[in-house]
Structure 1
Amino acid sequence: MKRNLIIGLLALSLNVAFAQEQQQADTSWKKIYRSTPEKTHALVNTKLEASFDIPNAQLKGNAWLTLKPYFYPSNTLVLDAKGMEIKEVAIQKGTARTKLKYEYDGLLLKVTLDKTYKGGEAYTVYINYVAKPNDFKTEGSVAITDAKGLYFINPKGEEKDKPTQFWTQGETEATSVWCPTIDKTNQKTTQDFYLTVPAKWVTLSNGKLMSQKPNSNGTRTDYWKMDQPNSPYLFFMGAGDFAMVKESWRGKEVSYYVDKEYASVAKKIFGNTPEMMTYFSKITGVDYPWVKYAQMVGRDYVSGAMENTTATLHQESAQQDARELVDGNRWEGTIAHELFHHWFGDYVTSESWSNLTLNESFADYSEYLWDEYKFSKDKADATHYSAMQGYLGSGSESKHLVRYYYRDKEDMFDAVSYSKGGRILHMLRNYVGDSAFFKSINLYLTTNKYKSAEAHQLRIAFEEITGRDLNWFFNQWYFGAGHPVLDITYSYDESGKKVNVIVKQTQKDKLFQLPVAIDIYNGSNKTREQVWVKNAVDTFSFAVSSKPDLVNFDGDKVLLAVKKENKTLDEYIHQYKYAGLYLDRREAIDFISKKQDDAKAVAFMKEAINDKYSGLRNFAIGKLDAKKTAIVDVTETSLEAIAKKDPSRIVRSAAVTFLGNLKKPAYKTLFTSLVNDSSYTLSAAALTALEKLDPPAALTEAKRLSKQPMKGNLLEAVANTLIKSGDENSFDEITKAYSSMGLSQAKFNLTATYANMLGTIKNTEKVKRGIDEMVKFRDAIPEQYGLGPVFENFLKTIIGKKETLKKAGEDVNALQEQIDYIKSKMK
C-alpha cells in the first residue's frame, strides 16, 4: 500500500499528537507481544459466488472454503467473518451438503466439523451469508481510515456527477467483512470468484477472467480464477461503468480501469507499467510472476493505492488530465510502488504485521530504483532525500523497524515501515554492492515464493550471497530504533600534514556502527578513505600533501542520519562543483543561500539556478532573496530566460513567481502570454504575477479562465484573484470546479481560499451552497485524519468575516441567517 499523504504534514502533525495522547492514556499494549499468527488450519482454495444489493450496500454470498489442518488433527474451525448475517454452514462432499453446528459472535465464526481431520487432510466448508459492510464499525488508521472491507460508492445514484461503483480494501484484516476466511498474512489460497453485477458494468478481480455469462435479469456473472496462492488481505473485487484500456507485456494482459473522461490519457498516466514490469523482472531475476496486471481508479478511495494481487486499486488522484501531465506524472512513484509489491508483499508476504516493512520498505525503495533507471540519479536521490526527511520529521525515533509491540496493527503503517525501511535498503545496497544486493533479493524471493517470511529470512539470504555476517546490521536497523545524530568537524594540521575528521554521535541511548566513505578533494582530484564510525567520538586522520579544498563525509550520501558539519562557504562551493551528487549540491545550495550578502554566494546562486537537474534549479530559485539588489542584478536576466524556455514548467513557474515579486511593468507581456500556457502550474504562477503588477488585467484573465476547465494551482490562483476583486459573478464556476475535485491534497489546499471567498460573498443562497460543499468535503475525510478542527477554524473564519460586515452596517438579517446556517454545520 502506498499511503495517501492527503493534507500532508498538517495531518501528520495532528495525528502524531493524537496518537501520543492515546498512547499516554493507555500503554498496556507495550506489554503485549505480537506473535506470528498460529496456523491451526491452512487455506487451500476460496470459491465465492457473490451478488450485490447495490442500493442497500450488501453482498449476498455463497462461499466454499477448502482447508486442511496445518499439522495437528482438528475437529473445530475458526474463521474471521465480521458483521455478517450467517444463514447456513455445511460440510461439502461432492454434491452432498451436510449442515454443521456453529457459534457466531459477529466477528468469529466457530464451526464444529463433521469429524476430526488429520494434518494435511483437506475438506470443504460451505457458508451462505449476507455481508453488510456499512453496518460494521471498527477502528482504522491514518493510512487505511476504516476497515469495512467493501465500499459501495454512490449506491443509490443520488450524487449527480459521481458514478456508482464498488471496490474492496482488504489490508489489514478487512477482507473478512465480505468473505469468510482466515484473515492473516501467513495464509495463502487460490481463488474462484463469480461476481454478478449489472450487465453494463465491467468487473475486476484477482487472476484471469475466465468467462462472462449474461443473466435474464439484466445482470452478468463474471468468473475470475486465481490459480496462484495469495493472502486474503490481497483479495479484490471492483466493478463499475469504467473505461478499460488494454496493453500487454510478454503476452500477459496489462489494463487500466479509469473514469471514461480519462480514457484518452490512461496510457499517459499508466503507460510506463509494461516497462516497469520488464525492469523489475530484470533486477529481481524473477519475471513478473502473475497471470495479468490491472490497475483500477476507485472513487472516494483515500488510502493512496493498494497492491491487490494482479489488481491494484488507486485513489482518484491518479487521474490527471492532459494539462496536469504537462508538469509530469505525479503518480509515477505510486505506480512503481504498487507494482513492486507484486514481488515484495504478494509473491513473498510478511508473515505478520510486525514484519510489515518486508513489504513496504521494498515498495518504497522501488520508487528510487525506478527513478534511477528511467529518469536520472538526481531524481532518484531527490526521492531518497524526500523520504528520509519524511521519516526524520515524523517523531518516530523510538519505533523499531520490525516491531513486536504496537498498540494496533494499523499503527505499523507509518514512516518507519515505509520511508525508514527504504533508506535502510539503500544503505544495505551501498554496503554490499549492486551485484550482491540484487542477487540477495533474488535468493530471498525464490526461496520464499508463494510463502510468508520474516526479516531474518532476508538477512539469511544476504548472508548466503555475500558470505558476511550481517547480524550487526539487522540488529541495529531492523530490530532497533532511532538513527544517528552526527556532529562532524574537519580540521587541518599544517605541521603534520594531516587532515582530521572528528565524528561525534550525539543521539541518546545507542551507538551506531556506520561504514562510511570520506572523500578528500584537491581540485577535481578525489581520494576516498573507507572508515567505520563506532564510538561516541571517533577521530580519523589522513596524510595529505597540502590543505584539501574539501573533505566530504559520507561521500556516497547514503546515511540515514542527521548531520551537522563545520564546512565553510568556499568548501560548499567546491562540494557543489566537484562532489556533484544531488545531496552534495542541495546541501551547498541550502547553506550558501543563507549567505546572500556575500559576493561569492551571490555569484554561486547565479550558477545554482542553472543546475543540470530541474529539481535543484527549482530549489535554488526558491531560495533567492528578491529584496537583495545584488541578487536581483545578477540573476534577473537568467531568470527571464528560464521563465521563457526552461524545459521544466515547474522551474519556469518558480522563475515567474520571482519576477512577479519585482513588480516590473516590463514583464506584463510575458506574464499575460504565460497565463495561456498548457501547464496549470505555469498558468497559475503567471496569473498571480500579473495580479501583483496589474490587478484589473489579472481580473479580466481570471474571469476568462473561470469559464474553462481548471484544476489545482490554476483553480486556486483564479479563485484568489476573483476573491481579491470582490467579484461574485464567477462563484458558480469556482464552486463547480471545487465540487468536482476528489479527495486530495489539492482540494484541501484550495479550501482556505474557498473559505475566504465565502466570507466575502453576499448572496445567502450562494453562501449556503458553498458551505454545503465545504462540509461535504469535511465529512468525506475520515475522522482518523484529525482534520475536523481545521475545518471548524475555516468555518469560524467565515463567521468572523460575516460579523465584521454586520458591524459595518451591511444587510444584518441576511448576514445573521448566513451565520446561523454556518453554525448549524459545525461539529
Structure 2
Amino acid sequence: MPHLCGLRHAVELHDGGDVLASGGGEFTLRPDGQKHYRPDLPLEPMHLKIELNVDLEKKKVHGCVAVSVQSKCADAKRCRVLKLHAVDFDSGSVRVECDTHPIQQTDYNGKVIAILFAEPVPLHETAVVKVFYSVTDPRTGMSFSYPTPSEPQRGKFMCTDHETERARYWLPCIDHPSVRTTLEFVITTQREWTVLCNGTEGPEQPDPTDPSLKVSHWRLDCLCPSYLICMGVGDLVEARDGDHKGKPIAYYASRAFYKEEHLIQSFGRTGEMLDWMTNKLDFELPWPKYYQIAVGGGVGSAMENISLVTWDDACLHDGMLDQERGWLIDCVNVHEMGHTYFGDLLVMSDFASAWLKESWASYIEACWVEHKFGADTRDCYMWMERNQYMSEADERYVRPISTKQWDSSWLMFDSHLYPGGSWRIHMLRGMLGDDLFWAGVRKYIKDNAWGTVETHDFRVALERVSNLSLECFFDQWIFGLGYPKLKVSVQYEMERGQLTLTMKQTQVDTTKKIELFAFELSVSVEVDEGQWAHKVAVFDPSKNAGCGTVCFSDLAKKPLQIAFDPHALVLFKPDQSDVDLPMLCRAASHPPSSYARLLAIEALAAQGSSTAVNAIVDTYKQESGFLERRLIVEQLAKVNSNVGVRALCECLQLEKDPRVLYFVVMKVASVRDLIVAETLEAFVRSADASTPRVAMQFALQGLGAQRDSERALALLNEYATDDARNPWWVWIKRGAILGLGQLRSPEAYEALAKLAPDGAISFQAGLRAARSALMGALGTCVEFADKPLRDKCAYLLLDIIRNDPDYYVRRSAAGAISQLGDTKHAAAALRLFEKQATNQDEALAERYLRKLGGDAELGGVKKELDEQKSELRSLKSQLEELKQKKAAAE
C-alpha cells in the first residue's frame, strides 16, 4: 500500500506539503495512453539467494545475489538471453558468473544487466546466475539512517520498501509482480544489529573473518514477487506480543526515538485482528510469523511485505496520539493484514489487476469497522470511501478500475483503486447476499492460493457459488467509467394520495465515454410516524433513457421523508434539490439508517439555508457515534455562508472526543473568515500539554490560511522553531510550517527560507516530513507573489533540488517549484529533477514541467477566485436574511 490507503487518510495520517499529483486533469499524460503487459518469461526466476554485507555507516550493501532461472520455453532461441533490472549500481562493481551454463557476454547500462548465454538453456534446466555488485545510498527502494557529526541523534538502521517497482535500485531481479521466487538471505552486519527478513529465521553465526560482524540467515519457501521482498537491519527496539496459533507476533522500531510501550500502543490489536481475519476468510495465516517494523525515511505509510510489514514511524503513537488516531492506525493495520490474502497469497498478475489487492484491502478495513462498531458505522466508513472516490472522479479524472493504460504503475494507486474499487466489492456483496458472497470469496482464495490472479478469477469464483451472471456488472463497474448521478424529481398528488419519484441519470458524457448504468435502487418512504413503505427502482439503459421511477399509492397524507438506498448497496450520487426541506430535516433527525441520514445531510448542505444548517447542527448535537459526527461536520463545511461558518465554530467549541476534534478543526480551518481566525487563535493560545497534537497541527495551519500576519506570524514562527512545543514526531511543527506558507506574505517567506538549508531544522523523528512540508509551504507562500519574490524562491528550491541529500525532499521541492509559474529558474530546476527522478516518478516530473506555463497564466485567476470566496459567502448570507424577512412579512 504505497499511497496511505490511496490518500483516503493522507491528510490525517501523514501528508502535508509534498505535491504528488499536480499538473493535469487526466489519468494519463497522453489521450491514448500506453498499454502495459506482463513480461515474457522464457527464463523464469525461481529462487533468489541474497548474500549481502550491510554497512549502515557507509550506507552501502555489497555481495552477491544468485538468481536461479528455469527454462520454460521450447523455443531454444528465446532461452539464451536473461535481462535483470539493476538501476544505478556502483560503477564498475557489477560482475556476472554462472557455473552451470557458460556465459558468452554481459552488458550493464546502468538500468539493466543483460546476459547472453553461450548456448540456450535447455527446456526445464536451471541456470544459476551470480551477480556480484555493490550499491551506495540508493535513490529509492532501500533507505539508510546513521548518526552524523551535525545530527548525532539519528537512528541506526536500514530498511527496504519496493512498491511498485523499486527493488531494482538495490536488487538485481525481474522487477514485476508476475515474477515470484523463493528466497534465501545471508546477511552480514555488525553483531549488535537486529536483522529482519521475510520468512523464517535460521542460525546466526559469527563472521569467520571479523569478530565484530555476524552472519544472519533467513529463508522463505513460498513464492514472493520482488515488491514484497523485505529486509531491515539496525539498532532496533523489540516488542514481543505473543503469537497467533504458535506463530510469533513482534514489532520493531528505531531505538533512538521509541520504546517497547510505543510499539504495543500502536500495534497491540494485531493479534485480535489475525484471529478475526483468519476466521472470516477461513484460511490460516500462511506465513511463519507476523512481524512489523516502523522506521522514518523511505517507507510510505505501510507496506504488506510477506511476514514483515513495514511502516513509516509517523504511524507510531504514544498514549495521547492514540486517542486521536488509534482507530485510523488500526484500519491501516488491518488493511496491510488483508494483503496477506489479497496481494501476497494471491498475487496480482500485473498492475491492471491491482484492484484485486488494494480495493480488497480497503474493503477489509470497512469489514473490520463493521466487526468493531456495527453495520451502521461500516456504512459511514463506506460514505468516506464514496466521497474520496467521487472527489477524484468529479474533479480530476475518471478511469476504469482495471486498466492496462497508465503512465507509471505508481500512479495506478489512486482513489479509483482504493475506495472506488472497495465500493464495487461492497456492491457485489449486496447483490449476492452475505452467505453467497463470503462463500465465493473463500472459494476464490482457496482456488488461487499461492498463484497469480486476474479480474476474471474473482468473477468466476463468485459466479460458481451463486450461479449468477456477473459479466454486466464487471463490464460496467470494473472496466467501465464513472458512476450513476441521479436527478430526483418528486411529485405528490394530494387528491390521489400518490407520490411519484423519477430519477434521471445525468452522468452521461460522450467525451469521457461515461455511459448509462443498469442497476436497481431501493427507495423507502416514511408514510407515518415509524411506518415505512418500500419500492425498488429499476434502471435499464434500453428503456426510458435509463430513468428509474417508483410510485407510492393509497397514501393518507404526504410522506414524512424519503430514503434512497438506506442500506448503502449502490455507489451513486443523488441531486435531491427537488425534495422538500421538511422531508430532508426529518430524514436527518429520524432516519432509517446512518447512510440515509448522511444522504439527507448532504442535500441539506447543498441547500444551505439557515433552516438546513440548524437541522444539521441539531443532528450533530444528538449524534453519539464518533465517525457519524465527523461526517456531519464534513457536510456542514460545504455550506458556503456565514451561518454555516458560525455553525462550524460552534461544533468546535462543543467537541470533546479527540477522534473527532482534529477533524472539526481541519474543517473549520478550511474556511477563511474573521470568526474562524478568532476561533483558531483562541484554540492555539489556550493550548497546553494536554491539547491533542493533530488538532493543534490543523489549527496552526488554518490560522495561517486566514492571511492575517499581524495575528499569526509571530505565533506560527514560534511553533515552527521551538522544539519544546513539539513533544512527539513533528505534528505541531509541521502545522506551523504549513501555516506560514498559507500566510503568503514576504515576512512569512523569509521565516520559511531560514528553515530551508539542510540542518536548519534540528533533527528529530519525522524530519523528512517536516522538510517536505517546508518545500510545499515555500511554494504556497509565493504562488501569487510578484515575480521577483517567485524568482527568489525558485532559486532557493533549485539549490535544494541540486544539493539536498534526501530524494523525497528534492521531490517535494520540485512539486513546490511547479506552482510558481514560468519563473527564472523553474524550468532548469525541474529538468534537473527529471534526471534524478526514480522510474515511478518520471511521469510526475513530466507533469511538473507541463504545469509551469499553465500556472503562470492561471495564477491571477486563482488569486482572484480565492479572494472572492468570502465575498460570495457574505452575499449568500445576505440573500438568506432577505428571504427570512420576506417570509416573516408574509
Q: TM-score, normalised by structure 2?
A: 0.74
Match of 1:236 in 2: 230
Contact 1:56/1:155 (<8 A) preserved: no
Residue 595 (structure 2) pairs with residue 583 (structure 1): yes
Deviations 1:657-690 (A, max 9, x none): 99xx9xxxxxxxxxxxxxxxxxxxxxxx9x9869
Structure 2 CA distance, aligned partners of 1:529 and 1:796? 53
Match of 1:104 in 2: 108
Contact 2:17/2:773 (<8 A) preserved: no
Name the stretch that deviates more: 49-58 or 708-717. 708-717
How much has 1:797 moved relative to structure 2?
Answer: 10
Match of 1:363 in 2: 361
| Equivalent position amino acid for 1:348 in 2 | L
| Equivalent position amino acid for 1:359 in 2 | K
Q: 1:614 to 1:712 in 2, by over 3 A?
A: closer
Q: 1:649 to 1:167 in 2, by over 3 A?
A: closer
| Equivalent position amino acid for 1:284 in 2 | L
How much has 1:368 moved relative to structure 2?
Answer: 0.8
Deviations 1:104-162 (A, max 9, x none): 2222222233643333333322221223453x6xxxxxxxxxxx322223475752332
Contact 1:799/1:819 (<8 A) preserved: no
Match of 1:89 in 2: 96
Match of 1:275 among 250, 272, 275: 272
Match of 1:542 in 2: 551
Match of 1:650 in 2: 660
Structural mapping, 1:296-695, within 5 Å = 296-301=293-298, 303-329=300-326, 330-395=328-393, 397-507=397-507, 508-509=509-510, 510-522=515-527, 523-535=529-541, 536-546=545-555, 547-565=558-576, 566-592=578-604, 602=614, 605-618=617-630, 620=632, 623=636, 650=660, 692=682
Structure 1 CA distance, aligned partners of 2:112 and 2:794? 49
How much has 1:511 moved relative to structure 2?
Answer: 0.9
Residue 185 (structure 2) pairs with residue 187 (structure 1): no
| Equivalent position amino acid for 1:713 in 2 | A
Match of 2:48 among 39, 46, 49: 46
How much has 1:461 moved relative to structure 2?
Answer: 0.9
How much has 1:421 moved relative to structure 2?
Answer: 0.7
Q: 1:629 to 1:254 in 2, by over 3 A?
A: closer
Structure 1 CA distance, aligned partners of 2:20 and 2:185? 38
| Equivalent position amino acid for 1:103 in 2 | D
Match of 2:132 in 1: 128
Q: 1:600 to 1:488 in 2, by over 3 A?
A: closer
How much has 1:397 moved relative to structure 2?
Answer: 4.4
How much has 1:265 moved relative to structure 2?
Answer: 2.6
Contact 2:68/2:127 (<8 A) preserved: yes
Deviations 1:393-448 (A, max 9, x none): 11454311111122222221111122211111111111111111111111111111
Structure 2 CA distance, aligned partners of 1:796 and 1:120? 61
Q: Determine helix, strand or coil for the equivalent of 1:511.
A: coil
Contact 1:365/1:426 (<8 A) preserved: yes
Match of 1:253 in 2: 248
Structure 1 CA distance, aligned partners of 2:386 and 2:489? 23
Aligned residue pairs total 754
How much has 1:795 moved relative to structure 2?
Answer: 6.6
How much has 1:340 moved relative to structure 2?
Answer: 0.5
Q: 1:196 to 1:336 in 2, by over 3 A?
A: same
Structural mapping, 1:142-181, within 5 Å = 148-154=140-146, 156=148, 158-181=150-173
Name the stretch that deviates more: 351-360 or 396-405. 396-405
Structure 2 CA distance, aligned partners of 1:183 and 1:621? 44
Match of 1:752 among 738, 743, 755: 738
Structure 2 CA distance, aligned partners of 1:690 and 1:17? 29
How much has 1:249 moved relative to structure 2?
Answer: 1.0
Q: Determine helix, strand or coil for the equivalent of 1:327.
A: helix
Aligned-residue sequence identity (percent) comes to: 19
How much has 1:20 moved relative to structure 2?
Answer: 4.4
Contact 2:779/2:793 (<8 A) preserved: no
Ranked by relative contact order (alpha carbons within 8 Å, sequence separation 6 or more), the top structure is 2
How much has 1:598 moved relative to structure 2?
Answer: 6.1
How much has 1:349 moved relative to structure 2?
Answer: 0.9
Deviations 1:343-363 (A, max 9, x none): 111110110112111111101
- List runs of 5+ in structure 1 lacking aligned partners: 137-147, 662-684, 803-816
Match of 1:805 in 2: none
- List runs of 5+ in structure 2 lacking aligned partners: 801-816, 818-824, 826-890
How much has 1:601 moved relative to structure 2?
Answer: 6.8
How much has 1:772 moved relative to structure 2?
Answer: 6.0
Structure 2 CA distance, aligned partners of 1:429 and 1:81? 43
Q: 1:531 to 1:297 in 2, by over 3 A?
A: same
Name the stretch that deviates more: 315-324 or 524-533. 524-533
Q: Determine helix, strand or coil for the equivalent of 1:116.
A: coil
Contact 1:262/1:319 (<8 A) preserved: no
Residue 312 (structure 2) pairs with residue 287 (structure 1): no
Contact 1:90/1:100 (<8 A) preserved: no
Residue 201 (structure 2) pairs with residue 205 (structure 1): no
Q: 1:212 to 1:579 in 2, by over 3 A?
A: same
Q: TM-score, normalised by structure 1?
A: 0.79
Residue 713 (structure 2) pairs with residue 713 (structure 1): no
Structure 2 CA distance, aligned partners of 1:480 and 1:758? 42
Q: 1:430 to 1:733 in 2, by over 3 A?
A: closer
Structure 2 CA distance, aligned partners of 1:732 and 1:549? 52
Deviations 1:579-617 (A, max 9, x none): 332222223334446778766974774354121312333
Q: Determine helix, strand or coil for the equivalent of 1:393.
A: helix
Contact 1:589/1:605 (<8 A) preserved: no
Q: CA RMSD in A?
A: 4.6
Structure 1 CA distance, aligned partners of 2:291 and 2:247? 10
